[in-house]
Amino acid sequence: MSLLALALYSLASVADAGSGKRGLVFTPNPQYPEDNKLWRPQDGDLTWYYNYGSMPSPVYSDIPQGQFDFVPMMWGVGSDPTGTTWLDEVKGVISNGRNITHALAFNEPDAPNSWGGSDVAPHKAAQAWVANFEPLAKMGVKLGLPAVTGAPSGLDWLKQFLGNCSDIVSNGGKTKNCTWDIIPVHWYDNFAGLASHIGERRALWPDAEIWVTEYAYAHQDLQPTQEYYNQTADYFDKESYIGRYSYFGAFRSKNSSVGANAPFLNDAGKLTDIGAWYLGKSATGVNPQSKAFSVGPSGLLAGSIAALAGLVVASI
């Protein structure tokens, strides 16, 4: 293969439809309801989604569960940790014909509300788990543990939660453990840190399935943000212990809490390179911080075109 052909192949292969693991963290913006339609699954690119709640999102409610797997989540815990309102809602979804196979628990319970966390004490989370999740396990639903932050304190919180949960189900008798199947991971730093973070979980629970349910390289320049995306997508797709993953970026750049270069959409609602790649499409050349479609290349695309131009010149 010539150098020119190799360069063209590299450009064409940046977009990858994934391995069936790729999902959507759905965070709708009422100002731009048209954006929601962009995430409807096409050709198997996105296979599942969650919205931090117990009920499917109306915009996707017409899509069969087998085509776009809705995963309910109990975001936090109310004033009565033993209340079963959430469980009743999920059972209602199942009764209405939706085959719920997985459920997630508690969004960053080790973080305060001001940081986006649910701020739940481990013992209260354990009470809520026993009341709402253990019954789902008996129905055959696979359960994801609370999704703690990437901070070291997150693992301490998780260990205490599991201990508290064990105490409740043991009820003073023979020691039992709460039922769970999946370890969710949140990460917003570099790839080396992500790999180490996942490795730490695997060392403690080697047989557990990992779901990376929120991730991005937050508040970085465009090129390292794109490089990180491609590196992580390749890693997640190849490793069998990664069951599913969902990038935190399905919103416009100006609405981003993880930096202007991480989102799937620019300020005008056009797909960025990362947004297009995530959907299994080719790079768009849209700068995330632009207010309209960018006709000039950006980030990795610009670098690839520059390299290609160099090859062309060298071959003349």
* Residue range 119-129, pLDDT digits in tens: 999 999 999 99
The pLDDT value given to residue 184: 98
Q: Which pLDDT band holds residue 12 (cuts at 50, 70, 90)?
A: very low
Helix axes 85-95, 122-132, angle to 10 degrees: 30
Contacts of 275 (CB under 8 A, 6+ apart): 38, 249, 263, 264, 265, 284
294 versus 23: the higher-pLDDT residue is 23
CA–CA separation, 68 vs 25, rounded Å?
13
Q: What's the angle, vertex CA 273, arms to CA 271 and CA 274, rounded to 5?
A: 90
The phi, psi pair for 182, rounded to 5°, reads -130, 140
> What's residue 9's pLDDT?
33
Helix (H) or strand (E) holding 243: strand 242-245
pLDDT at site 62:
95
Q: What is the pTM of this model?
A: 0.89
Compute the average pLDDT of residues 145-168: 97
**Chain segment 199-253, per-residue pLDDT in tens:** 999 999 999 999 999 999 999 999 999 999 999 999 999 999 999 999 999 999 9
Q: Is the pLDDT of residue 61 over 90?
A: yes
Mean pLDDT of 146-172: 97
Residue 313 confidence class, pLDDT cut points 50, 70, 90: very low
Residue 120 has a CB neighbour count (10 Å cut-off) of 27
Q: What is the pLDDT of residue 42?
A: 81
Compute φ and ψ for 131, nearest 5 degrees: -75, -35
Q: What is the dihedral sign for C-alpha 199, 200, 206, 212?
A: negative
pLDDT, residue 5, reads: 36
pLDDT recorded at residue 309? 39
**Residue 65: is its pLDDT beyond 70?**
yes
Token reading at 74: 């109990």
pLDDT-derived band at 8, boundaries 50, 70, 90? very low
Among 236, 77, 248, 239, CA closest to 149: 248
Supply φ then ψ for residue 255, to 5 degrees: -100, 10
User: Over the stretch 266-306, which tens digit does the pLDDT of each residue have?
Assistant: 999 999 999 999 999 999 999 999 986 544 455 555 444 44
What the block records as the tokens of 175 is 């020691």
Phi, psi of 49 (to 5 degrees): -155, 160
Q: What is the mean pLDDT of the chain?
A: 89
| pLDDT-derived band at 32, boundaries 50, 70, 90 | very high
Q: Which of 5, 46, 51 is nearest to 23 (CA)?
A: 46
